Amino acid sequence: MTFRHFTLAFLAVILMSSASADGFKLSTADLGNGLYALIGPTTDRTYENHGLNANFGLIDTPEGVILIDSGASLIGAKLLEEQARQLTGKPVRWVINSGAQDHRWFGNAYFIGQGAEVIAHHRTTDTQRAEQHNQWERLLPVLKDRLDGTEPTPANRIEADDEVTLVLGGRTLVMHFFGDAHFPGDVVVWLPEERVAFAGDHVYVDRILSIRPFSNAESWLAAFERLVALEPEVIIPGHGQVTDIAGAQAATGDYLAFIVAGVVRLADEMAGAEAALDALGDAPRFSHLENFDALHRQNIQQAYLRAEAGL
């Protein structure tokens, strides 16, 4: 399967949606070979979108469904489960957490309660535990009663190796930890036979990525380059539409390279954060990306402060 073939299929309306009782919908891109990308909105988390403002993945197997990321709440997990059953007629048997942000793992407890095995890298679960309280406090005013019954719970199968081959329901996947990215412990789920990468928050398209105080732009760029070295034909980003290497490079790789090169040079010169903002703040090449005005200068500042500190 090539990205061109997928694009033609996508444009030919291999596109479906699943609705909750309140009308919320996740778009579903059928990638072929029993692979699906569940495309969330590129807006912020809201009560209306159940905090599912990200992308998720489904992999159909003869023994059940492999779900990439479990949603931001018990209700969100049930919405993902409903969509899995609609598409495959099968239950979720396995969940893989691609990262430590709330919508990647707050639904874990629901699936564990249903008998599923939830799999994550140890750095992912370490970050989940460290960030759990902060994430809950930020999410509660947004989801309100829609967080009822949610119990943030790390995976019940934790992997220590940075490259783990998983054979689940007869499908072969490789879970790669390439380095800390948007969150410490972000991983890529790679299907070598299909040449498809569920990239999680290593890749943003359509909207600008977010460099947070715990993000490491330099290691994120290095991890992105290792993802590209796999030569995937199809990339499911953490946010935005399904893409290929060129699309991911334009929206994520080139942006990270621009930020890293600029802040490292200016930090070496001890120029200061204000000088970095002045020098790098005008970036018309990336200004078309959603949330550019809100996040670009913040990204410069966070990356500069880390580079200046030598972290």
Please give the pLDDT value at position 162.
98
User: What confidence score (pLDDT) does residue 2 get?
Assistant: 61
Q: Name 117's bridge partners.
A: 94
Task: Grade residue 8 by pLDDT with cuts at 50, 70 and 90.
Answer: very low
pLDDT at 18: 43
Q: What would the mean pLDDT of 165-191 be, rounded to a whole number?
A: 98
Distance CA(174)–CA(270), nearest Å, equals: 41
CATH 3.60.15.10 fits domain 3-245: yes
pLDDT score of 22: 67
Confidence of residue 24 (pLDDT cuts 50, 70, 90): confident
With cut-offs at 50, 70 and 90, classify the pLDDT of residue 23.
confident
Contacts of residue 108, defined as CB under 8 A and 6 or more positions apart, other chains included, come to 70, 77, 95, 97, 118, 152, 153, 154, 155
Backbone torsions φ then ψ of 217, nearest 5 degrees: -60, -35
> Hey, what are 131's tokens?
């960030």
Q: Using CA atoms, how far apart are residues 86 and 81, in angstroms rounded to an integer?
A: 9
As a whole number of angstroms, the distance between CA 50 and CA 267 comes to 40
Rounded distance, CA 239 to CA 39, Å? Answer: 8
Displacement of CA 83 from its chain's centroid (Å): 18
Query: Is the predicted pLDDT of residue 213 greater than 60, yes or no?
Result: yes
Distance, in Å, from the CA atom of 160 to the CA atom of 214, rounded to the nearest integer, reads 21
Reported as a single tens digit per residue, the pLDDT across 59-78 is 999 999 999 999 999 999 99
> For the chain, which residues make up each domain, given as ranges?
3-245
For 203, other C-beta atoms within 10 Å of its C-beta total 30
Q: Are strands 25-32 and 35-39 parallel, antiparallel or unpaired?
A: antiparallel
- Each residue's pLDDT tens digit, 183-196: 999 999 999 999 99
Q: Which two tokens stand for residue 139?
A: 């999410």
Name the token pair of 128.
């989940």
Q: Among the listed ranges 5-9, 41-45, 120-124, 254-258, which one has the minimum average pLDDT value?
A: 5-9
Q: Report pTM.
A: 0.93
* 8 Å CB contact between 57 and 36: yes
Per-residue pLDDT, averaged over 205-224, amounts to 97
pLDDT of residue 155: 98
* E strand or H helix at 58: strand 55-61
Q: Of the candidates 147, 38, 22, which has an alpha carbon nearest to the alpha carbon of residue 84?
A: 38
pLDDT given for residue 63 in this prediction: 98
Closest to 33 (Cα-Cα) out of 80, 71, 85, 88: 88
H helices of 12-55, where? Answer: none
pLDDT for 151 beyond 80: yes
Q: Determine the Cα–Cα distance for residues 185 and 189; give it in Å rounded to an integer.
A: 13
CA–CA distance from 192 to each of 136, 157, 167, 234 (Å)? Answer: 35, 22, 12, 11
Is the predicted pLDDT of residue 161 greater than 60, yes or no?
yes
As a whole number, the mean pLDDT across the chain is 94
Environment class of 281 (CB within 10 Å of its CB; exposed 0-12, middle 13-18, buried 19+):
exposed
- Distance of alpha carbon 14 from alpha carbon 32, whole angstroms: 10
**pLDDT over threshold 50, residue 30:** yes
1 has a pLDDT exceeding 70: no
The DSSP call for residue 92 is E
Interval 105-143: pLDDT, tens:
999 999 999 999 999 999 999 999 999 999 999 999 999
Q: What is the average per-residue pLDDT within 294-302?
A: 98
Q: What is the pLDDT of residue 3?
A: 56
